[in-house]
Amino acid sequence: MAETKVRQATWLTKEKRPIVIAGPCSVETEEQVLETAKRLKVTGKSDILRGGIWKPRTRPGSFEGVGAKGLPWMIRAKEETGFPTTVEVAKAKHVELCLEFGIDILWIGARTTVNPFAVQEIADALRGVDIPVLIKNPINPDLALWKGAFERLDAVGIKELGAIHRGFSYSGEKYYRNRPQWQIPIKFMQEFPEIPMIVDPSHICGRRDILQDVGQKAMDLDFDGLMIESHIDPDNAWSDAKQQITPEVFGAMVTEMVLREDYEGEIPIQTPLENFREEIKNIDDDIIDLLSNRMKIVNDIGKYKKEKNMTIYQNKTWTKKIQRYLKIGERNGLSDEFIQKLFAAIHDESINQQNSIFKKG
């Protein structure tokens, strides 16, 4: 997008910051949408109403959204509250229907941003149309892929674009549902300062208890807004029940947030050093996670060896393995000494764990 110009969004003026998008993960019934919108209105803390009509679900069989019949409910909610509406689109048909019903802003979900074919299909359906489009980051931490989606929308003439940071998928024990890896959206903002960047704490956290912290962090880092899922009866929501909050809890949460311009004294920005440290922390988490997965397999091997009356330590296979690791290490600038020590430690732990399996029973 280096040569292309994305124009400043008119739906987001500097005076309006932070812009707050709130509403249910999924549109479920007309009453639910209307009541959510009205109660959000009472809080005075939200600007735009979100609602998922078509839901990308990991496995088939669970609730996949009410479909087009939910669109008039969003429009009714708009008529009764004045909130502009935003809906997720994943294919051309969704775009057509949203335009037909008069949805104000479209957003592209994380599972769609990963797929250039799908993004291109959406872009083609929007050629010559004047509507703001928000693009969530892809589920994997790939900045180029995210930028690629902007380039596709920019190329068909969409003038008002915005980004939504919803975190990145990762394996292992989970504190976040999707790890924020703040350095990625920060890099994006540095490259494209004219594109507003909104943070979606709901999909980053996947739970209610840390929403406030993540939202505050987004404000401290000077992001342009928030997208927060809100439901009138969160525990019984048809999707993402664990992360949704009532409009009243939402209102209190946003009220409590301290904006950068309100800070007295030092503004808590993220320094480059903190950025590096966070990247290292993420990598360390991954290392521990990988080691834990490795030990699980080691334990399975231990059980197998015990069953077959085999010895734990098999010198030949180990020597062969180490030779291979030394070569890989060398290619990647890691010294022989380091590789030897690292794998000796891993190997010791593996043997200890297998020993305890042999002793059992």
Q: Which residues bind ligand PEP (CB under 6 A)?
A: 25, 52, 56, 109-111, 136, 166, 203
Q: Which of residues 265-324 bind Mn ion (CB under 5 A)?
A: none
Considering only 175-183, 237-245, 256-264, 301-309, which stretch makes contact with Mn ion by CB under 5 A? 237-245
Q: How far is the CB of 202 from Mn ion (least distance, A)?
A: 6
Pick 70 or 109: Cβ nearer ligand PEP: 109
Pick 81 or 230: Cβ nearer ligand PEP: 230
The kind and range of the H/E element at 201 are helix 201-205
- Distance between CA 168 and CA 208 in Å, rounded? 18
Give the pair of three-digit tokens for residue 116.
């250039």
- Distance between CA 266 and CA 287 in Å, rounded? 35
Taking a C-beta distance cutoff of 8 angstroms, is the pair 78, 62 a contact?
no
Pick 76 or 111: Cβ nearer ligand PEP: 111
Other Cβ atoms within 10 Å of 222 Cβ, number: 17
Q: How far is CA 242 from CA 32, 55, 87, 176, 292, in A?
A: 17, 16, 21, 12, 27
- Distance between CA 342 and CA 340 in Å, rounded? 6
The answer to whether residue 240 forms part of the interface with Mn ion (CB under 5 A) is yes
- Distance between CA 214 and CA 109 in Å, rounded? 20
Considering only 25-33, 168-176, 299-307, 315-323, which stretch makes contact with Mn ion by CB under 5 A? 25-33
- Distance between CA 232 and CA 252 in Å, rounded? 15
**Can you tell me which of 6, 25, 34, 118 binds Mn ion, judged by CB under 5 A?**
25
166 binds, among ligand PEP, Mn ion, none (CB under 5 to 8 A by kind): ligand PEP
Pick 104 or 240: Cβ nearer Mn ion: 240
110 binds, among Mn ion, ligand PEP, none (CB under 5 to 8 A by kind): ligand PEP
109 binds, among Mn ion, ligand PEP, none (CB under 5 to 8 A by kind): ligand PEP
Residue 147's identity, in one-letter code, is K
Pick 137 or 354: Cβ nearer ligand PEP: 137
Binding site for Mn ion (CB under 5 A): 25, 240
